[in-house]
């Protein structure tokens, strides 16, 4: 598959040379002798698990951190940054995951924020501002309407605005930090087109991501970091997925992961349903019929907005069930609130761990206890010792990498934060576990560990309802997969009926296209 960029071979001039840089934070060696070369017009992917040193490297390039030893050259000239402004002057621009746009202002206002064309007394020349912004976007070839407010744009277009903003002025190196982590596949396509346009102007791009398939689609070369050191640089066209994963995880850890992939089909499970929904409807769902058996992993496949998350929300009491019936372990039950659902033994690992799953400024122990407060109290008083013991146990059991139970959750990496969200429901074991995108933004190693946690849960008889956009993940984990289109179950597949993600992908597209769904319209 040839991406929009691969068609144009990059000129082999070296734009940025990072030579043997090291960085230490207290006792931790975040970077050890790291080398990186980015050529003009090249998309250079940067891979590695959370904590491998990607962020540190980016922060050094963007002038947030200073380096301890080593050197950086731009176009052959040595540079040293002691502030972000410094790095910006040298032509390096960074687009972070969380965007820095003012949602209530228009695209043009955002682009030229702080450098608006002015009249006397600071009045803005509105027409000139629009014209400048329009001309700049046209030059980049980015199809954005300058008059639209940023808040009303789909995420990909906001990201494009951000990229355009970063490119204003003299930019030679653009750094994108996980730009696709919250995009739909259509939006990813739009973003890739924009990146292609940027590289054609001779700008070098460092592309940080967890999604390996994107690496093959967009990058010319890949550098992998592991434990703060180089774990290999590859020409993308000459390598494959397996070698990259090897470099990221390290060969020693890959073997057990493979052996753990015991076929779920071989497990026999009780045929009594933990959850059964019949004709469940509300504002987003239409007569959903669904069941989850004891010890079963039931997957929900569908596009964003298809109603898959809404099914979980309805069962968890976050969304009113207007008609139809819901039963837990054979007993009829109407979910009224999350507290009610938890009482019934239902647990939810929500989609957005930062917003819905965790209190970032509180300790691991506090977060783990949050969902089980009543369980750890007697006559209303906290059993602090018991809560602390359970937290320590959960940290060991889930292999959370942290100083201890009193570490703030904010200081953990994405994968470890997600393990804490799982830990909230670890003990006592829930009867039904609802998972919404459990491995988004989680590195390869932690992902395997989370799969282990899920498999462990079903082995003990928990039923799992799993929503995921990662079709390979559904295929690997699920006993049954239901395809959700427009708030309906379009089809339920047994394990063995479908073998690979490619096939599932086609099936999804087919149901979507067959009039049962309306694809999201994007403004041009």
User: Smallest gap, in angstroms, from Cβ of residue 444 to another protein?
Assistant: 13
DSSP 8-state assignment for residue 513:
I
User: 63 vs 357, which CB is nearer to another protein?
Assistant: 357
User: Smallest gap, in angstroms, from Cβ of residue 421 to another protein?
Assistant: 9
| Residues contacting 60, CB < 8 A, separation 6+ | 21, 23, 31, 66, 67, 72, 81
User: 304 vs 399, which CB is nearer to another protein?
Assistant: 399
Of residues 328-367, those binding another protein (CB under 8 A): 337-339, 341-343, 348, 350, 355-362, 366
Is 402 one of the binding residues for another protein (CB under 8 A)? yes
Candidate residues 392, 427, 476, 503; the one interacting with another protein per rule CB under 8 A: 392
Candidate residues 401, 429, 491, 505; the one interacting with another protein per rule CB under 8 A: 401
Candidate residues 404, 428, 519, 523; the one interacting with another protein per rule CB under 8 A: 404
User: 209 vs 426, which CB is nearer to another protein?
Assistant: 426
Burial (CB count within 10 angstroms: exposed 0-12, middle 13-18, buried 19+), residue 122:
exposed
DSSP 8-state assignment for residue 521:
P
Q: What is the residue-wise DSSP string for 7-39?
A: TSPPP--EEEEEEEEEEEETTEEEEEEEEEEEE
Is 411 one of the binding residues for another protein (CB under 8 A)? no
**Which residues does residue 463 pair with via DSSP β-bridges, in sequence order?**
432
Binding letters toward another protein, positions 159-198, x by CB under 8 A: ----------------------------------------
Q: What separation in angstroms does the CA of 444 have from each of 16, 52, 300, 448, 449?
A: 28, 12, 22, 7, 9
**Contact (Cβ atoms closer than 8 angstroms) between residue 431 and residue 423:** no
Candidate residues 75, 183, 287, 318; the one interacting with another protein per rule CB under 8 A: 318
| Residues contacting 380, CB < 8 A, separation 6+ | none
Instruction: Report the interhelical angle of 414-423 vs 384-397 (nearest 10°).
Output: 130
Binding letters toward another protein, positions 423-462, x by CB under 8 A: -x-----------------------xx--xx--x------
Is 134 one of the binding residues for another protein (CB under 8 A)? no
Stretch that binds another protein, among 42-50, 261-269, 388-396, 461-469 (CB under 8 A): 388-396
* H helices present in 262-378, as ranges: 308-315, 338-343, 364-370
User: Smallest gap, in angstroms, from Cβ of residue 469 to another protein?
Assistant: 20
SS3 category, 49: coil
Is 381 one of the binding residues for another protein (CB under 8 A)? yes
What does DSSP say about strands 463-467 and 432-436: parallel, antiparallel, or unpaired? parallel
Q: Which residues of 100-110 are buried (b: 16+ CB within 10 A; e: fewer)?
A: ebeeeebbbbb
Query: How many other CB atoms sit within 10 Å of the CB of residue 117?
Result: 14
- Counting DSSP H helices and E strands in the chain, the numbers are 17, 22
Distance CA 244, CA 224 (A): 8
User: Smallest gap, in angstroms, from Cβ of residue 336 to another protein?
Assistant: 11
The footprint of another protein on this chain (CB under 8 A) covers a number of residues equal to: 50
The dihedral sign for the CA sequence 22, 72, 180, 218: negative
> Can you tell me which residue has the tokens 């994968």?
415
DSSP 8-state assignment for residue 507:
H
Candidate residues 380, 496, 521, 524; the one interacting with another protein per rule CB under 8 A: 380
User: 1 vs 396, which CB is nearer to another protein?
Assistant: 396
User: 38 vs 402, which CB is nearer to another protein?
Assistant: 402
User: Smallest gap, in angstroms, from Cβ of residue 196 to another protein?
Assistant: 38
Stretch that binds another protein, among 122-130, 163-171, 376-384, 501-509 (CB under 8 A): 376-384
Candidate residues 118, 126, 260, 506; the one interacting with another protein per rule CB under 8 A: 260
User: 30 vs 405, which CB is nearer to another protein?
Assistant: 405
**Which residues does residue 445 pair with via DSSP β-bridges, in sequence order?**
none
Is 377 one of the binding residues for another protein (CB under 8 A)? yes
What does DSSP say about strands 297-301 and 463-467: parallel, antiparallel, or unpaired? parallel
**Contact (Cβ atoms closer than 8 angstroms) between residue 450 and residue 399:** no
Binding letters toward another protein, positions 30-69, x by CB under 8 A: ----------------------------------------
Residues listed for the chain? 524
Stretch that binds another protein, among 105-113, 229-237, 390-398, 510-518 (CB under 8 A): 390-398
User: Smallest gap, in angstroms, from Cβ of residue 226 to another protein?
Assistant: 15
User: Smallest gap, in angstroms, from Cβ of residue 243 to another protein?
Assistant: 22
User: 183 vs 360, which CB is nearer to another protein?
Assistant: 360
User: Smallest gap, in angstroms, from Cβ of residue 2 to another protein?
Assistant: 38
Is 395 one of the binding residues for another protein (CB under 8 A)? yes
Is 247 one of the binding residues for another protein (CB under 8 A)? no
Is 264 one of the binding residues for another protein (CB under 8 A)? no
Q: What is the residue-wise DSSP string for 180-244?
A: TTT--HHHHHHHHHHHHHHHHTT-EEEEE-S-HHHHHHH-SEEEEEETTEEEEEEEGGG--HHHH
User: Smallest gap, in angstroms, from Cβ of residue 445 to another protein?
Assistant: 8
Residues that bind another protein (CB under 8 A): 253, 256, 260, 316, 318, 337-339, 341-343, 348, 350, 355-362, 366, 369-371, 373-374, 377, 380-382, 384, 392, 395-397, 399-406, 424, 448-449, 452-453, 456
């Amino acid at each position: 598959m040839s991406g929009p960029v691969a068609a144009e071979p990059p000129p082999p001039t070296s734009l940025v040379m990072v030579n043997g840089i090291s960085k230490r934070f207290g006792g931790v060696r975040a970077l050890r002798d790291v080398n990186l070369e980015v050529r003009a017009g090249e998309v250079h992917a940067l891979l590695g698990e959370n904590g491998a040193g990607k962020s540190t490297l980016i922060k050094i390039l963007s002038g947030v951190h200073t380096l301890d030893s080593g050197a950086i050259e731009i176009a052959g000239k040595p540079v040293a940054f002691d502030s972000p402004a410094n790095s910006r002057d040298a032509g390096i621009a960074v687009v972070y995951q969380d965007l820095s746009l003012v949602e209530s202002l228009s695209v043009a206002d955002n682009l030229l924020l702080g450098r608006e064309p002015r009249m006397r007394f600071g009045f803005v020349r509105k027409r000139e501002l629009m014209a400048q912004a329009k001309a700049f976007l046209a030059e980049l070839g980015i199809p954005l309407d300058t008059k639209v407010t940023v808040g009303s744009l789909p995420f990909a277009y906001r990201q494009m605005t951000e990229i355009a903003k970063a490119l204003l002025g003299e930019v030679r190196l653009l750094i994108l930090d996980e730009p696709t982590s919250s995009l739909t596949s259509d939006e990813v396509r739009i973003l890739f087109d924009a990146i292609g346009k940027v590289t054609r102007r001779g700008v070098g791009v460092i592309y940080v991501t967890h999604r390996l398939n994107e690496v093959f689609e967009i990058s010319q070369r890949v550098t992998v970091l592991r434990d703060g050191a180089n774990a290999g640089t590859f020409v993308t066209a000459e390598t494959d997925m397996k070698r990259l994963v090897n470099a990221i995880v390290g060969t020693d850890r890959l073997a057990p992961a493979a052996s753990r992939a015991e076929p779920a089909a071989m497990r026999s499970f009780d045929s009594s349903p933990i959850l059964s929904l019949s004709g469940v409807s509300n504002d987003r769902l239409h007569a959903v019929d669904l069941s989850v058996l004891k010890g079963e992993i039931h997957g929900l496949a569908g596009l964003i907005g298809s109603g898959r998350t809404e099914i979980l929300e309805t069962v968890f009491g976050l969304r009113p069930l207007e008609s139809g019936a819901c039963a837990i372990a054979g007993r009829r039950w109407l979910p009224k609130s999350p507290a009610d659902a938890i009482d019934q033994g239902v647990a939810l690992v929500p989609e957005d761990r930062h917003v819905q799953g965790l209190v970032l400024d509180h300790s691991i122990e506090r977060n783990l206890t949050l969902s089980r407060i009543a369980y750890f109290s007697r006559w209303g008083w906290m059993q602090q010792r018991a809560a602390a013991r359970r937290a320590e146990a959960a940290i060991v059991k889930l292999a959370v990498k942290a100083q201890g139970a009193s570490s703030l959750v904010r200081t953990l990496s994405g994968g470890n934060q997600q393990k804490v969200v799982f830990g909230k429901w670890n003990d006592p074991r829930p009867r039904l576990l609802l998972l919404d995108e459990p491995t988004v933004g989680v590195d390869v190693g932690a992902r395997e560990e989370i799969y282990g946690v899920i498999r462990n849960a079903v082995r003990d008889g928990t039923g799992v309802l799993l929503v995921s956009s990662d079709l390979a993940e559904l295929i690997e984990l699920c006993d049954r997969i239901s395809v959700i289109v427009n708030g309906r179950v379009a089809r339920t597949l047994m394990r063995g009926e479908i073998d690979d993600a490619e096939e599932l992908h086609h099936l999804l597209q087919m149901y979507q296209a067959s009039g049962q769904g309306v694809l999201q319209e994007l403004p041009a």
